[in-house]
Amino acid sequence: MKKIGLLLLLTATAAWTQSASSGTASDATTPDGTIPTSVGFPTERVLTPTYADVYCAGFISRQTLPDANFVAGGLQTPQTTKFGNGEIVYLKGAGYSAGAQYEIIRALRDVNEYETFPGQRKLLKATGQPYQVVGRVRVIDTRSKTAVAQVEYTCDPINPGDTAIPFAEKPMVPFHPPVRFDRFLPPAGKVSGRIVMGKDFDTELGSGRELYLNVGANQGVKVGDYFRAVRSYDEDLRDPVDSLSFKATLSEDTQMKEPSFDPGMFEKGNGPVIHVRDLPRRAVAEIVVIGTTPTTATGMIVFAMEDVHAGDTVELDEQTQAQ
C-alpha cells in the first residue's frame, strides 16, 4: 500500500513539473518575483476568413470616393429594385469597357444616430465615410448611354444609386494554428487604436463579425496583422448599463465588513475599498486585419472570450504575429 502511495506521489510530482515547464519560452521571473506562464491560458482556435468575409466586409475611407459611376437600374426596372447573382443591371457614367469588372459599393449613414460610447459620432466623422460592399458586376455591352453589366457576386442585393468602382483583387488571410490567449497581457507600446463601429452599425459583436479600426497603412498596419481587443473596468464604469452592476452589494450576509467599489460616485461600505482603476485590463478578443486604407483597417473577430464593443481599445498583438 505504501509503495502504491509513493508511486502516485512521484507521478503527480512529475506531472506538475512537466506542466510548470510547458509555458512559453518567454516565461521569465518579473521584477516582483512572479513567474508568468501560459499553462492556464485558454487555447485560441483562430477562425480563417472566407472569401465572403474578405470581399463583403466593407470599409471606412477618409477620402470620399467618386460616385459619378453608379447603378441606374436593371432589366425589369422599375418593377424590380433589388438585383442578385446572374441578373442584368445598367451602369451610368463613363469609362466602361466590355469585360471590365466593377465593385458595387454603398455609402452609408446611421439612421439611428445612437452613440455606443461617448464621442462615437465625432470619432467616426474624423475617421471617415463608412462604405458597404454590395457585390461585383462584369460589363457585357457598352453600345448605349448606359453600360450593360451582369451581376457575378453579391453580398447584399444591389440597388439603384449604388456606386461602381473598378474591381481589385484582395489578399486572403492564411490559416493560423491554435495559440494561447493571454487575457492579462500588459500594454506593450505597439500600434494601438479603437474600434469605431461594427459592420451594419452593430454595437456588440462576436466571433466571425467584421468591424472597423481607426488605424491603417500609414501606421504600418497590413492585411494579416492581429490586434487584441482590450477593455478596462473603467470603461465598464462609463457604460450606462454595465455601470449599474457597480452599485450592487458585494458582500455576503455573514461578512462583518462590507467591501465596496470606489469609482468616485457610489456609496461606500464599512470594509475594504476596491479601486476600479487598479484592476487589470482584460483582453476580450483577437481580431485579424482583412483590409486597409491609409488611415483605417477592416478587421474580423477570429476569437472572442466575451462580447466585443464598439469603442474597445485594440493593440497590435506581436505574440500572435510570431506564431
**Which of these three, 112, 141, 166, is where a domain ends?**
166
Residues with Cβ < 8 Å from 244, sequence gap 6 or more?
Answer: none
Q: What phi and psi values does residue 316 have, to the nearest 5 degrees? A: -55, 130
Are 60 and 154 part of one and the same domain? yes
- Residue pair 227/194 in contact (Cβ under 8 Å)? The answer is no
Residue 43 lies in a domain: no
Residue 67 lies in a domain: yes
Give tens-digit pLDDT for 20-51.
444 444 445 555 455 555 556 788 889 999 99
Residue 119 lies in a domain: yes
Q: Which amino acid is located at 25 in the chain?
A: A
Residue 258 lies in a domain: yes
Give tens-digit pLDDT for 166-211.
999 999 999 999 888 988 888 888 999 999 999 999 999 999 999 9
Q: How far apart are CA 197 and CA 210, in angstroms?
A: 9
Are 59 and 161 part of one and the same domain? yes
The confidence band for 10, taking pLDDT boundaries of 50, 70 and 90, is very low
pTM for this entry: 0.82
Q: Which residue has the cell 479601486?
A: 275
Residue 283 lies in a domain: no
Are 253 and 161 part of one and the same domain? no
**Which of these three, 131, 151, 166, is where a domain ends?**
166
Are 66 and 149 part of one and the same domain? yes
Are 158 and 69 part of one and the same domain? yes
**Which of these three, 166, 188, 216, is where a domain ends?**
166
Residue 272 lies in a domain: yes
- Residue pair 278/195 in contact (Cβ under 8 Å)? The answer is no
Are 161 and 57 part of one and the same domain? yes
How many structural domains comprise the chain? 2
Residue 174 lies in a domain: no
Are 241 and 141 part of one and the same domain? no
Residue 135 lies in a domain: yes
297 vs 180 pLDDT, higher one: 297
Residue range(s) defining the domain that contains residue 147: 52-166
